[in-house]
Structure 1
Amino acid sequence: MHVARMFILKRVVSFGGIIVLPCTSLSACSLSACHRLRSTKRHSPYSSVDSERYSSLVKSVMKSRVTSQSPETLQAEDEHIYGPIVKAQLPSSRPDMRVPKTLHPFLHCEETVEAEELESGPPARISSKRGQDKSSIPSVTRILQQTLSPEQIFYLERWKKRMIAELGEDGFKEYTQNLFRQGKLFHSVLEDILMSGESWKNKSSLETPEYPPEIQGYMKSISHVLEDVSAVRAIESTVQHDTLNYMGIVDCVARYRGVLCVIDWKTSEKPKPFLSNTYDNPVQVAAYAGALNNDGNYKYQVQNGLIVVAYKDGTPAHAHQMSSELMLEYWKTWLLRLDEYTEQRSSASSAFSEKR
């Protein structure tokens, strides 16, 4: 019996660290499993794909991935390349859950929302009276500029610093002056077209209009939008909200595809296919419309908005139409910005009084 036991021990087999007695029957399946434990890593099913043939596709997919960088990492990268951004503050990740102190109505209930009989005659153009008392009534533009969020300030200063690093101080100054000049010329030509009262379709079919070289691309860009604009009621006209104490100058009030809108014309060198790409422009349009609706110089109400982004290279402009529901949401945002501006003015006034 001792001999038999020794014989059995000698026949003990080890597979991959697993001890199997000889009396245990090993099936083909068990041996196969043990073999897999000791075999090399299985080859990928994609190993036979022609990688050179599809390399461009792989690179394009990898490049299109959304960046994981945050304002913090962007700031660290920029500081390494361009130096520290002194004035910038990192944006807060917490959403703004505030509500306006006074939810002033967007529409003036005593006025008629639609007044067809007022669509005849030349467009209104009310001049600004700010020169009489410039400090008492702030403009929509000033209020928005002074109530930018920390995130907006961060990206604006980052863009400015990168442009100065590329163009230099003088080059950047010249660049901004050219943008301002082109924008002013673009609005001037648009004003002449819309004030004429002639349909754009009829005008463009009779003769090919000639424009200054600086804005030819912009005019080509908005040509398809102008075909849908009709019944112009106001051009470069001042609107003022006496109750909320602010003013602005609307680019245009007209019908776009049959809907009465406050229209804002913008120029851009980069595509802005989404409304979110226009930053504070929707808030600006809502502020203009709210002022117009409460201004006694205008005998109608406007509930909708339109932001047209024209491109210098002639690419068809993006026309972002804002419904009445969307305008109400941006109106609430405007009231919050107005509250913030009022608080800033109050704090500055108190600080000045203490110093005196």
Structure 2
Amino acid sequence: MFVFKRVVSVRGIIVPQCTSLSVRMFSACHCLTSPKRQSPYSSVDSERYSSLVKSVMSSRVSSQTPESLQAEDEHVFGPVVKAQTPSLSSSSGPKMRVPKTLHPFLHCQENPETDDLEQGPPARIALNRGQGRSSVPSVTRILQQTLSLDQIFYLERWRRKMIAELGEEGFKEYSQNLFRQGKLFHSALEDTLVSGGTQQNQSPSERPEYPTEVQGCMQSVSHILEDVRAVRAIESTVHHGTLNYLGIADCVARYRGVLCVIDWKTSEKPKPFLSNTYDNPIQVAAYAGALNNDSNYKYQVENGLIVVAYKDGSPGHAHQLKPELMQEYWKTWLVRLEEFTEQRSSHVSSAALEKR
């Protein structure tokens, strides 16, 4: 709004007057020469749009919830097995379970390790299911049957996604190839460790030719093998007579001068942290605890090592477990073993009731 003043004379008296003009009067010429722009929202139902915005803004529910993700997975991959989440007291919070009986990790009566024990070929005790061992569970079986609800959910979700991508037969072939590559990798490691040679200290003519499927994995762990010495056991069975379980340890050797139970793993994804290896530390602690209480081995092992090899040949990761950490994973193993024993007892009781 603009105000203009003019002066008029009334009976000889000069009187100022004000006149107000709208801005529209000044823009009229421009409006006549320029076409009016059409608003993109002119055709929108403003009342309906306003109510829609209010309904969205007033809702406090996230667009991505566990329920919506579950429904999406079921639509794409089929129904997922559901399990009720254990209720936790809000006042006390989640509690870590401790073993009912803390069995010793080390067998104190055994002699300490000596250099004499490192002489000779490494032990290779084959798995013998006879001699009353037909019902002895393995470490792998116990861990598989005592997975947490979260682990079961994500494993099942991964399996369904793989089947959706590869199909039933494709996923079966993929699993068989993984198993075959694992066996070839362990066989190549065994040849290298027994011969005492690595690619770094051998001439090109002396280097073994590994199968194509494991060349990347062997290249991945070549720098780690340089620090592995004094191999005492390879693919050797360990048995804990008191706790009644057994397993096959991949390797027992010195890594950077420290005697370790070594577990070799392959992976397509990087696993730079120990937490990326899931239950593998529990597995290593279970093997070490069984070895320490197995009369076939005249030494004690307090350390562990998890080596992750990558199929693309990128440098592998070596996760070392010190004695304090091994003791903690040993306690976790005892809890899992108790859970397995309770499950088996429950199944036996249920089967006995059904027969009645």
TM range (shorter): 0.7 to 0.9
User: How many positions carry a matched residue from both structures?
Assistant: 288
CA displacement, residues 304-342 of structure 1 (integer Å, 9 cap, x when unaligned): 000001000001111100000000000000000000000
1:143 matched to 2:142? The reply is yes
**Are residues 299 and 219 of structure 1, via their aligned partners in 2, closer, same or farther at CA, if it must alter by over 3 Å?**
same
Q: What pairs up with 1:88-99 in 2 under 5 angstroms?
A: 88-89=82-83, 92=86, 95-99=94-98
1:78 matched to 2:77? The reply is no
Contact 1:111–1:301 (8 Å) recurs in 2 = yes
CA distance in 2, matches of 1:88, 1:339: 24
Contact 1:89–1:151 (8 Å) recurs in 2 = no
Partner amino acid for 2:271? K
1:114 Cα deviation from its structure 2 partner: 2.5
TM-score by length of 1: 0.76
Partner amino acid for 1:273? P
**Are residues 269 and 253 of structure 1, via their aligned partners in 2, closer, same or farther at CA, if it must alter by over 3 Å?**
same
CA displacement, residues 221-242 of structure 1 (integer Å, 9 cap, x when unaligned): 0000000000000000000000
CA distance in 2, matches of 1:165, 1:115: 54
1:335 matched to 2:334? The reply is yes
For the residue of structure 2 that corresponds to 1:89, the secondary structure is coil
CA displacement, residues 181-237 of structure 1 (integer Å, 9 cap, x when unaligned): 000111111111112234664336763432111111000000000000000000000
1:169 Cα deviation from its structure 2 partner: 0.4
Q: 105-114 vs 132-141, which deviates more?
A: 132-141
1:132 Cα deviation from its structure 2 partner: 4.7
For the residue of structure 2 that corresponds to 1:263, the secondary structure is strand
Partner amino acid for 2:265? K
Partner amino acid for 2:79? P
Q: What pairs up with 1:1-356 in 2 under 5 angstroms?
A: 74-85=69-80, 87-89=81-83, 92=86, 95-133=94-132, 135-198=134-197, 201-203=200-202, 207-356=206-355
Give 5+ residue unaligned stretches, structure 2: 1-62, 89-93
Contact 1:91–1:154 (8 Å) recurs in 2 = no
**Are residues 70 and 99 of structure 1, via their aligned partners in 2, closer, same or farther at CA, if it must alter by over 3 Å?**
farther
CA distance in 1, matches of 2:176, 2:249: 22
TM-score by length of 2: 0.76
**Are residues 96 and 166 of structure 1, via their aligned partners in 2, closer, same or farther at CA, if it must alter by over 3 Å?**
farther
**Are residues 101 and 281 of structure 1, via their aligned partners in 2, closer, same or farther at CA, if it must alter by over 3 Å?**
same
1:144 Cα deviation from its structure 2 partner: 0.5
CA distance in 2, matches of 1:71, 1:111: 52
CA distance in 2, matches of 1:302, 1:135: 27
Partner amino acid for 1:214? E
1:128 Cα deviation from its structure 2 partner: 1.1
CA distance in 2, matches of 1:242, 1:251: 20
What is the RMSD computed on CA atoms of the aligned residues?
2.0
Q: 71-80 vs 97-106, which deviates more?
A: 71-80
Give the percent of matched residue pairs that are identical in Structure 1 and Structure 2: 74
CA distance in 1, matches of 2:256, 2:180: 30
CA distance in 1, matches of 2:87, 2:215: 42
CA distance in 2, matches of 1:166, 1:289: 39
CA distance in 1, matches of 2:217, 2:198: 19
Give 5+ residue unaligned stretches, structure 1: 1-67
1:355 Cα deviation from its structure 2 partner: 1.2
CA distance in 1, matches of 2:254, 2:204: 21
